Structure 1
Amino acid sequence: MSELTGTAATVVLLRDSGAGPEVLLLERPTAGSFGGAWVFPGGRVDPEDRSGGAPEAAAARAAGVRETAEETGLVLRAGDLVPLSCWIPPENIPRRYQTWFFAAKAPAGDIRLNPGELLNHVWLQPADALDRHRNGLMQLVAPTWVTLHSLSNDSSADAALARISDAEPETFKTRPLTGYEPAAVLAWAGDEEYDAGTPSAAAGRPARHRLVMEKTLWRYERTS
Protein backbone atom coordinates (compact mmCIF):
# COMPACT_ATOMS: atom_id res chain seq x y z
CA MET A 1 0.00 0.00 0.00
CA SER A 2 1.36 3.43 -0.93
CA GLU A 3 0.84 6.78 0.74
CA LEU A 4 -0.45 9.72 -1.24
CA THR A 5 2.36 11.29 -3.28
CA GLY A 6 0.87 14.78 -3.27
CA THR A 7 -1.99 16.98 -4.43
CA ALA A 8 -2.99 17.96 -7.96
CA ALA A 9 -5.66 20.04 -9.67
CA THR A 10 -7.77 19.61 -12.80
CA VAL A 11 -9.92 22.32 -14.40
CA VAL A 12 -12.96 21.51 -16.54
CA LEU A 13 -13.37 24.52 -18.82
CA LEU A 14 -16.89 25.02 -20.20
CA ARG A 15 -18.19 27.18 -23.02
CA ASP A 16 -21.46 27.37 -24.93
CA SER A 17 -22.01 26.41 -28.54
CA GLY A 18 -25.07 26.31 -30.76
CA ALA A 19 -25.51 22.62 -29.95
CA GLY A 20 -24.94 22.89 -26.20
CA PRO A 21 -22.06 23.23 -23.73
CA GLU A 22 -18.58 22.13 -24.71
CA VAL A 23 -15.50 21.22 -22.67
CA LEU A 24 -11.84 21.69 -23.50
CA LEU A 25 -9.77 18.50 -23.84
CA LEU A 26 -5.99 18.35 -24.33
CA GLU A 27 -4.01 15.52 -25.90
CA ARG A 28 -1.00 14.26 -23.94
CA PRO A 29 2.09 12.82 -25.69
CA THR A 30 2.42 9.05 -25.64
CA ALA A 31 5.35 9.28 -23.19
CA GLY A 32 4.82 10.54 -19.66
CA SER A 33 1.79 10.84 -17.38
CA PHE A 34 -1.51 9.78 -19.00
CA GLY A 35 0.40 9.02 -22.19
CA GLY A 36 -1.79 9.40 -25.28
CA ALA A 37 -4.88 10.34 -23.29
CA TRP A 38 -7.11 13.37 -23.72
CA VAL A 39 -7.44 15.18 -20.41
CA PHE A 40 -8.61 18.44 -18.88
CA PRO A 41 -5.98 21.11 -18.07
CA GLY A 42 -4.21 20.54 -14.79
CA GLY A 43 -1.19 19.32 -12.90
CA ARG A 44 0.34 18.85 -9.48
CA VAL A 45 0.49 21.45 -6.74
CA ASP A 46 3.88 23.20 -6.64
CA PRO A 47 5.45 24.94 -3.62
CA GLU A 48 4.49 28.34 -5.05
CA ASP A 49 0.83 27.33 -4.83
CA ARG A 50 1.13 26.95 -1.05
CA SER A 51 2.01 30.57 -0.28
CA GLY A 52 1.11 31.56 3.26
CA GLY A 53 0.61 27.96 4.29
CA ALA A 54 -2.55 27.55 2.21
CA PRO A 55 -4.58 24.39 2.96
CA GLU A 56 -4.67 21.62 0.36
CA ALA A 57 -7.93 22.71 -1.29
CA ALA A 58 -6.74 26.33 -1.62
CA ALA A 59 -3.35 25.21 -2.94
CA ALA A 60 -5.13 23.02 -5.49
CA ARG A 61 -7.24 26.00 -6.59
CA ALA A 62 -4.07 28.07 -7.09
CA ALA A 63 -2.48 25.21 -9.03
CA GLY A 64 -5.57 24.96 -11.24
CA VAL A 65 -5.29 28.63 -12.19
CA ARG A 66 -1.56 28.36 -12.82
CA GLU A 67 -1.69 25.10 -14.78
CA THR A 68 -4.56 26.33 -16.96
CA ALA A 69 -2.53 29.41 -17.91
CA GLU A 70 0.61 27.36 -18.55
CA GLU A 71 -1.11 24.69 -20.62
CA THR A 72 -3.70 26.71 -22.55
CA GLY A 73 -2.83 30.41 -22.25
CA LEU A 74 -6.26 31.08 -20.74
CA VAL A 75 -6.21 33.18 -17.57
CA LEU A 76 -8.62 32.42 -14.75
CA ARG A 77 -9.09 33.90 -11.29
CA ALA A 78 -9.20 31.66 -8.24
CA GLY A 79 -12.80 32.72 -7.65
CA ASP A 80 -13.80 31.44 -11.10
CA LEU A 81 -13.17 27.83 -10.06
CA VAL A 82 -16.15 25.88 -8.71
CA PRO A 83 -15.22 22.72 -6.74
CA LEU A 84 -16.55 19.66 -8.55
CA SER A 85 -14.98 16.52 -7.07
CA CYS A 86 -11.90 15.02 -5.48
CA TRP A 87 -10.26 11.87 -6.86
CA ILE A 88 -8.03 9.51 -4.87
CA PRO A 89 -6.32 6.70 -6.83
CA PRO A 90 -6.25 3.04 -5.75
CA GLU A 91 -3.80 2.13 -2.98
CA ASN A 92 -1.86 -0.36 -5.10
CA ILE A 93 -0.26 2.13 -7.49
CA PRO A 94 3.13 3.74 -6.74
CA ARG A 95 2.42 7.44 -7.44
CA ARG A 96 -0.90 8.59 -5.98
CA TYR A 97 -2.01 12.21 -6.31
CA GLN A 98 -5.17 13.39 -4.62
CA THR A 99 -6.67 15.46 -7.42
CA TRP A 100 -9.21 18.22 -6.96
CA PHE A 101 -11.48 18.80 -9.96
CA PHE A 102 -12.87 22.29 -10.54
CA ALA A 103 -15.26 23.62 -13.19
CA ALA A 104 -15.06 27.11 -14.69
CA LYS A 105 -16.50 29.17 -17.52
CA ALA A 106 -13.81 29.48 -20.18
CA PRO A 107 -12.53 33.05 -20.60
CA ALA A 108 -12.25 34.59 -24.06
CA GLY A 109 -9.00 34.01 -25.90
CA ASP A 110 -7.16 31.64 -28.20
CA ILE A 111 -5.73 28.36 -26.94
CA ARG A 112 -1.92 28.41 -26.81
CA LEU A 113 -0.63 24.96 -25.92
CA ASN A 114 2.52 24.42 -23.88
CA PRO A 115 5.03 23.05 -26.45
CA GLY A 116 6.35 19.56 -25.72
CA GLU A 117 3.78 18.94 -23.00
CA LEU A 118 0.65 18.82 -25.16
CA LEU A 119 -0.03 17.79 -28.75
CA ASN A 120 -3.50 19.06 -29.58
CA HIS A 121 -6.72 20.44 -28.19
CA VAL A 122 -10.40 20.21 -29.02
CA TRP A 123 -13.69 21.64 -27.78
CA LEU A 124 -16.36 18.94 -27.63
CA GLN A 125 -19.75 18.34 -26.15
CA PRO A 126 -19.31 15.78 -23.35
CA ALA A 127 -21.48 13.17 -25.12
CA ASP A 128 -19.39 13.55 -28.31
CA ALA A 129 -16.17 12.96 -26.37
CA LEU A 130 -17.67 9.79 -24.86
CA ASP A 131 -18.69 8.65 -28.36
CA ARG A 132 -15.16 9.17 -29.64
CA HIS A 133 -13.79 7.12 -26.76
CA ARG A 134 -16.30 4.33 -27.42
CA ASN A 135 -15.32 4.27 -31.10
CA GLY A 136 -11.59 4.16 -30.35
CA LEU A 137 -10.94 7.68 -31.61
CA MET A 138 -10.06 9.26 -28.25
CA GLN A 139 -8.36 7.74 -25.23
CA LEU A 140 -9.83 8.77 -21.88
CA VAL A 141 -8.95 7.86 -18.30
CA ALA A 142 -11.59 7.01 -15.71
CA PRO A 143 -11.88 10.39 -13.88
CA THR A 144 -12.19 12.22 -17.20
CA TRP A 145 -14.78 9.76 -18.50
CA VAL A 146 -16.92 9.91 -15.34
CA THR A 147 -16.74 13.73 -15.30
CA LEU A 148 -17.83 13.92 -18.94
CA HIS A 149 -20.67 11.52 -18.17
CA SER A 150 -21.81 13.80 -15.34
CA LEU A 151 -21.93 16.80 -17.71
CA SER A 152 -23.78 15.08 -20.55
CA ASN A 153 -27.27 16.37 -19.75
CA ASP A 154 -26.56 20.02 -18.96
CA SER A 155 -28.24 22.50 -21.29
CA SER A 156 -25.60 25.25 -21.05
CA ALA A 157 -22.32 26.11 -19.39
CA ASP A 158 -24.12 28.32 -16.87
CA ALA A 159 -26.60 25.54 -16.07
CA ALA A 160 -23.75 23.12 -15.48
CA LEU A 161 -21.94 25.54 -13.19
CA ALA A 162 -25.13 26.33 -11.27
CA ARG A 163 -25.79 22.61 -10.74
CA ILE A 164 -22.23 22.00 -9.60
CA SER A 165 -22.32 25.01 -7.25
CA ASP A 166 -25.47 23.68 -5.59
CA ALA A 167 -23.96 20.24 -4.92
CA GLU A 168 -21.42 19.09 -2.36
CA PRO A 169 -18.14 18.12 -4.10
CA GLU A 170 -17.96 14.33 -4.16
CA THR A 171 -14.88 12.33 -3.22
CA PHE A 172 -14.07 9.34 -5.44
CA LYS A 173 -11.72 7.12 -3.45
CA THR A 174 -11.11 4.43 -6.02
CA ARG A 175 -11.00 0.69 -5.37
CA PRO A 176 -10.56 -1.88 -8.18
CA LEU A 177 -12.85 -4.92 -7.97
CA THR A 178 -11.74 -8.41 -8.99
CA GLY A 179 -13.67 -11.28 -10.50
CA TYR A 180 -15.01 -9.41 -13.54
CA GLU A 181 -12.18 -10.17 -15.94
CA PRO A 182 -11.67 -9.46 -18.79
CA ALA A 183 -13.54 -6.28 -17.82
CA ALA A 184 -11.87 -3.90 -15.38
CA VAL A 185 -14.15 -2.50 -12.68
CA LEU A 186 -13.53 0.52 -10.45
CA ALA A 187 -15.81 1.11 -7.47
CA TRP A 188 -16.50 3.98 -5.10
CA ALA A 189 -18.37 4.57 -1.84
CA GLY A 190 -21.99 3.49 -2.15
CA ASP A 191 -21.20 0.29 -4.02
CA GLU A 192 -22.13 -2.94 -2.26
CA GLU A 193 -18.76 -4.52 -3.05
CA TYR A 194 -16.83 -1.40 -2.05
CA ASP A 195 -18.27 -1.32 1.44
CA ALA A 196 -19.77 -4.46 2.95
CA GLY A 197 -22.00 -2.26 5.10
CA THR A 198 -23.77 -0.68 2.14
CA PRO A 199 -27.41 -1.85 2.04
CA SER A 200 -28.97 -3.12 -1.17
CA ALA A 201 -30.88 -0.62 -3.28
CA ALA A 202 -34.67 -0.58 -3.57
CA ALA A 203 -36.45 -3.75 -4.74
CA GLY A 204 -33.46 -5.87 -3.72
CA ARG A 205 -31.20 -4.57 -6.49
CA PRO A 206 -27.48 -4.56 -5.62
CA ALA A 207 -26.19 -1.14 -4.57
CA ARG A 208 -23.91 0.09 -7.33
CA HIS A 209 -21.41 2.92 -7.74
CA ARG A 210 -18.88 1.73 -10.26
CA LEU A 211 -17.35 2.07 -13.70
CA VAL A 212 -17.28 -1.12 -15.78
CA MET A 213 -14.61 -0.97 -18.50
CA GLU A 214 -14.79 -3.55 -21.28
CA LYS A 215 -12.25 -2.43 -23.89
CA THR A 216 -13.69 0.93 -25.00
CA LEU A 217 -17.26 0.06 -23.97
CA TRP A 218 -17.46 1.69 -20.56
CA ARG A 219 -20.55 1.81 -18.37
CA TYR A 220 -21.20 3.92 -15.26
CA GLU A 221 -23.52 2.19 -12.80
CA ARG A 222 -25.08 4.04 -9.88
CA THR A 223 -28.21 3.11 -7.96
CA SER A 224 -28.39 6.12 -5.65
Structure 2
Amino acid sequence: MTEIPVAATLVLVRDGHAGAIEVLLLQRPDRGSFPGGWVFPGGRVEPVDEAADEETTARNAAVRETAEESALVVDPQSLVPLSQWIPPEQLATKFHTWFFVARAPEGELRLQQAEAIDATWIRPADALKRHGKGDLRLFPPTWVTLDTLLPFPTVDAALTAIAGREPQRYATKQDPARALAIWEGDEAYDGGADSEEGPRHRLHVGALPWRFEHR
Protein backbone atom coordinates (compact mmCIF):
# COMPACT_ATOMS: atom_id res chain seq x y z
CA MET A 1 0.00 0.00 0.00
CA THR A 2 1.08 3.60 -0.57
CA GLU A 3 1.99 5.97 2.25
CA ILE A 4 -1.08 8.13 1.60
CA PRO A 5 -4.66 6.79 1.77
CA VAL A 6 -6.02 5.03 -1.30
CA ALA A 7 -9.21 6.03 -3.09
CA ALA A 8 -10.95 4.78 -6.22
CA THR A 9 -13.01 6.31 -9.01
CA LEU A 10 -15.25 4.56 -11.53
CA VAL A 11 -15.89 6.04 -14.97
CA LEU A 12 -19.16 4.53 -16.18
CA VAL A 13 -19.57 4.69 -19.96
CA ARG A 14 -22.50 3.95 -22.25
CA ASP A 15 -23.09 4.22 -25.98
CA GLY A 16 -24.64 7.55 -26.88
CA HIS A 17 -25.83 9.13 -30.09
CA ALA A 18 -23.92 10.44 -33.11
CA GLY A 19 -20.91 8.16 -32.63
CA ALA A 20 -19.82 9.23 -29.17
CA ILE A 21 -19.88 7.61 -25.75
CA GLU A 22 -21.46 9.19 -22.69
CA VAL A 23 -20.10 9.19 -19.14
CA LEU A 24 -21.85 9.59 -15.80
CA LEU A 25 -20.91 12.72 -13.84
CA LEU A 26 -22.17 13.51 -10.35
CA GLN A 27 -22.25 16.96 -8.81
CA ARG A 28 -20.83 17.15 -5.31
CA PRO A 29 -22.42 19.33 -2.61
CA ASP A 30 -20.81 22.68 -1.81
CA ARG A 31 -18.72 21.14 0.96
CA GLY A 32 -16.28 18.29 1.52
CA SER A 33 -14.12 16.95 -1.29
CA PHE A 34 -14.41 18.70 -4.68
CA PRO A 35 -17.12 21.13 -3.46
CA GLY A 36 -19.60 21.94 -6.21
CA GLY A 37 -17.58 19.98 -8.74
CA TRP A 38 -18.75 17.41 -11.27
CA VAL A 39 -16.90 14.14 -10.76
CA PHE A 40 -17.12 10.43 -11.46
CA PRO A 41 -18.47 8.21 -8.67
CA GLY A 42 -15.88 7.16 -6.11
CA GLY A 43 -14.32 7.65 -2.73
CA ARG A 44 -11.75 6.43 -0.28
CA VAL A 45 -11.01 2.81 0.55
CA GLU A 46 -12.79 1.45 3.64
CA PRO A 47 -11.87 -1.64 5.71
CA VAL A 48 -14.61 -3.65 4.00
CA ASP A 49 -12.78 -3.19 0.66
CA GLU A 50 -9.46 -4.62 1.79
CA ALA A 51 -8.02 -7.41 -0.36
CA ALA A 52 -4.65 -9.06 -0.94
CA ASP A 53 -3.40 -6.31 -3.26
CA GLU A 54 -4.00 -2.62 -3.79
CA GLU A 55 -5.64 -2.89 -7.22
CA THR A 56 -8.25 -5.37 -6.01
CA THR A 57 -8.87 -3.23 -2.94
CA ALA A 58 -9.38 -0.20 -5.17
CA ARG A 59 -11.75 -2.15 -7.44
CA ASN A 60 -13.86 -3.08 -4.45
CA ALA A 61 -13.96 0.52 -3.26
CA ALA A 62 -14.90 1.84 -6.70
CA VAL A 63 -17.82 -0.59 -6.98
CA ARG A 64 -19.04 0.02 -3.42
CA GLU A 65 -18.84 3.80 -3.67
CA THR A 66 -20.62 3.80 -7.03
CA ALA A 67 -23.45 1.68 -5.63
CA GLU A 68 -23.76 3.92 -2.57
CA GLU A 69 -23.78 7.16 -4.55
CA SER A 70 -25.82 6.16 -7.60
CA ALA A 71 -27.49 2.76 -6.86
CA LEU A 72 -25.76 1.36 -9.97
CA VAL A 73 -24.12 -2.00 -9.29
CA VAL A 74 -21.10 -3.12 -11.32
CA ASP A 75 -19.13 -6.38 -11.27
CA PRO A 76 -15.62 -5.60 -9.92
CA GLN A 77 -14.10 -7.92 -12.52
CA SER A 78 -15.52 -5.77 -15.34
CA LEU A 79 -13.46 -2.73 -14.32
CA VAL A 80 -10.57 -1.78 -16.61
CA PRO A 81 -7.72 0.21 -14.98
CA LEU A 82 -7.28 3.59 -16.66
CA SER A 83 -4.92 5.66 -14.50
CA GLN A 84 -3.50 6.39 -11.07
CA TRP A 85 -3.40 9.89 -9.63
CA ILE A 86 -0.96 11.03 -6.95
CA PRO A 87 -1.73 14.55 -5.68
CA PRO A 88 0.76 17.43 -5.43
CA GLU A 89 2.63 17.96 -2.20
CA GLN A 90 0.85 21.26 -1.56
CA LEU A 91 -2.53 19.62 -0.92
CA ALA A 92 -3.44 19.21 2.73
CA THR A 93 -5.68 16.20 2.04
CA LYS A 94 -4.09 13.59 -0.20
CA PHE A 95 -5.32 10.37 -1.76
CA HIS A 96 -3.65 7.99 -4.18
CA THR A 97 -6.60 7.43 -6.51
CA TRP A 98 -7.16 4.59 -8.94
CA PHE A 99 -9.37 5.38 -11.95
CA PHE A 100 -11.25 2.53 -13.60
CA VAL A 101 -13.58 2.38 -16.61
CA ALA A 102 -16.58 0.06 -16.97
CA ARG A 103 -19.68 -0.33 -19.08
CA ALA A 104 -22.67 1.23 -17.34
CA PRO A 105 -25.05 -1.40 -15.94
CA GLU A 106 -28.80 -1.49 -16.37
CA GLY A 107 -30.73 0.02 -13.50
CA GLU A 108 -32.30 3.21 -12.21
CA LEU A 109 -30.01 6.00 -11.13
CA ARG A 110 -30.78 7.03 -7.55
CA LEU A 111 -28.55 9.58 -5.86
CA GLN A 112 -27.39 9.64 -2.27
CA GLN A 113 -28.00 13.33 -1.60
CA ALA A 114 -25.26 13.57 1.01
CA GLU A 115 -22.75 12.63 -1.69
CA ALA A 116 -24.27 13.90 -4.94
CA ILE A 117 -26.91 16.57 -5.53
CA ASP A 118 -27.24 16.13 -9.30
CA ALA A 119 -26.18 13.78 -12.09
CA THR A 120 -25.90 13.81 -15.86
CA TRP A 121 -25.00 11.47 -18.70
CA ILE A 122 -22.87 13.55 -21.03
CA ARG A 123 -20.46 13.19 -23.93
CA PRO A 124 -16.86 13.98 -22.93
CA ALA A 125 -16.62 16.69 -25.60
CA ASP A 126 -19.77 18.40 -24.29
CA ALA A 127 -18.54 18.26 -20.70
CA LEU A 128 -15.24 19.89 -21.66
CA LYS A 129 -17.05 22.52 -23.72
CA ARG A 130 -19.36 23.40 -20.83
CA HIS A 131 -16.36 23.59 -18.49
CA GLY A 132 -14.60 25.93 -20.89
CA LYS A 133 -17.62 28.24 -20.77
CA GLY A 134 -17.70 28.15 -16.96
CA ASP A 135 -20.94 26.15 -16.81
CA LEU A 136 -19.52 22.94 -15.33
CA ARG A 137 -16.90 22.87 -12.58
CA LEU A 138 -14.24 20.22 -13.16
CA PHE A 139 -10.99 19.33 -11.42
CA PRO A 140 -7.83 18.29 -13.32
CA PRO A 141 -8.18 14.47 -12.92
CA THR A 142 -11.74 14.59 -14.26
CA TRP A 143 -10.79 17.00 -17.05
CA VAL A 144 -7.85 14.88 -18.22
CA THR A 145 -9.94 11.69 -18.06
CA LEU A 146 -12.64 13.26 -20.22
CA ASP A 147 -9.97 14.38 -22.69
CA THR A 148 -8.58 10.81 -22.76
CA LEU A 149 -12.02 9.45 -23.71
CA LEU A 150 -12.62 11.89 -26.58
CA PRO A 151 -11.46 9.60 -29.44
CA PHE A 152 -13.75 6.66 -28.67
CA PRO A 153 -17.03 6.33 -30.60
CA THR A 154 -18.32 3.30 -28.69
CA VAL A 155 -17.97 1.62 -25.33
CA ASP A 156 -16.42 -1.45 -26.97
CA ALA A 157 -13.76 0.71 -28.64
CA ALA A 158 -12.96 2.50 -25.39
CA LEU A 159 -12.69 -0.63 -23.25
CA THR A 160 -10.62 -2.50 -25.84
CA ALA A 161 -8.13 0.34 -26.27
CA ILE A 162 -7.79 1.06 -22.56
CA ALA A 163 -7.36 -2.62 -21.68
CA GLY A 164 -4.56 -2.87 -24.24
CA ARG A 165 -2.26 -0.33 -22.63
CA GLU A 166 -0.65 0.30 -19.27
CA PRO A 167 -2.54 2.60 -16.91
CA GLN A 168 -1.17 6.14 -17.01
CA ARG A 169 0.43 7.37 -13.79
CA TYR A 170 -0.13 11.04 -12.95
CA ALA A 171 2.10 12.16 -10.08
CA THR A 172 1.10 15.81 -10.17
CA LYS A 173 3.40 18.75 -9.58
CA GLN A 174 2.07 22.30 -9.49
CA ASP A 175 3.60 25.47 -10.87
CA PRO A 176 1.41 28.13 -9.21
CA ALA A 177 3.24 31.03 -10.84
CA ARG A 178 2.26 29.80 -14.30
CA ALA A 179 -0.99 28.07 -13.23
CA LEU A 180 0.18 24.68 -14.46
CA ALA A 181 -0.34 21.08 -13.45
CA ILE A 182 2.71 19.15 -14.67
CA TRP A 183 3.32 15.42 -15.07
CA GLU A 184 6.23 13.12 -15.80
CA GLY A 185 7.41 13.47 -19.36
CA ASP A 186 7.34 17.25 -19.28
CA GLU A 187 10.76 18.90 -19.43
CA ALA A 188 9.82 21.14 -16.49
CA TYR A 189 8.69 18.25 -14.28
CA ASP A 190 11.98 18.05 -12.39
CA GLY A 191 12.66 21.76 -12.46
CA GLY A 192 14.04 22.10 -15.98
CA ALA A 193 13.53 25.22 -18.07
CA ASP A 194 11.13 25.26 -21.02
CA SER A 195 12.59 25.06 -24.50
CA GLU A 196 10.74 25.77 -27.71
CA GLU A 197 10.52 22.15 -28.86
CA GLY A 198 10.85 20.38 -25.52
CA PRO A 199 8.50 17.59 -24.37
CA ARG A 200 5.25 18.67 -22.76
CA HIS A 201 2.84 16.94 -20.38
CA ARG A 202 0.95 19.75 -18.66
CA LEU A 203 -2.45 21.31 -18.16
CA HIS A 204 -2.86 25.09 -18.25
CA VAL A 205 -5.48 25.94 -15.59
CA GLY A 206 -5.05 29.70 -15.18
CA ALA A 207 -7.98 30.67 -17.40
CA LEU A 208 -10.86 29.03 -19.21
CA PRO A 209 -10.83 27.08 -21.40
CA TRP A 210 -8.05 24.93 -19.96
CA ARG A 211 -5.40 23.76 -22.40
CA PHE A 212 -3.67 20.36 -22.38
CA GLU A 213 -0.19 19.99 -23.86
CA HIS A 214 1.13 16.47 -24.36
CA ARG A 215 3.89 15.97 -26.87
Q: Do these two structures clear the TM 0.5 threshold for a shared fold by scoring above it?
A: yes
Structure 2 length as normaliser, TM-score? 0.94
What residue number does 2:26 align with?
26
The residue type paired with residue 90 of structure 2 is N
What residue number does 2:105 align with?
107
Aligned pairs (5 A) from 1:1-224 = 4-19=3-18, 20-51=20-51, 54-180=52-178, 184-195=179-190, 205-223=197-215
Question: Where do 5+ consecutive residues of structure 1 fail to align?
Answer: none
**Pair 166,147 (structure 1): closer, same or farther in 2 beyond 3 Å:** same
The residue type paired with residue 210 of structure 2 is W
User: Residues 30-66 of structure 1, C-alpha deviation per residue, up to 9 Å, x if partnerless?
Assistant: 1111000000000000011004xx2211110100110
**Pair 198,216 (structure 1): closer, same or farther in 2 beyond 3 Å:** closer
Tell whether the 8 Å contact from 1:12 to 1:104 is kept in structure 2 after alignment. Answer: yes
Question: Where do 5+ consecutive residues of structure 2 fail to align?
Answer: none
Give the paired residue count.
Answer: 213
User: Residues 139-165 of structure 1, C-alpha deviation per residue, up to 9 Å, x if partnerless?
Assistant: 000000000001111111110111100
Taking only aligned residues, the RMSD between alpha carbons, in angstroms, comes to: 1.8
Q: State the Cα distance separating 1:71 from its structure 2 match.
A: 0.7
The residue type paired with residue 42 of structure 2 is G
Aligned equivalents of 1:92, 1:178: Cα separation in 2: 10
Structure 1 length as normaliser, TM-score? 0.90
Q: Secondary structure at the match of 1:217?
A: coil
Identity across aligned pairs (percent)?
49
Tell whether the 8 Å contact from 2:24 to 2:122 is kept in structure 1 after alignment. Answer: yes
Aligned equivalents of 1:133, 1:155: Cα separation in 2: 21
Tell whether the 8 Å contact from 2:8 to 2:42 is kept in structure 1 after alignment. Answer: yes
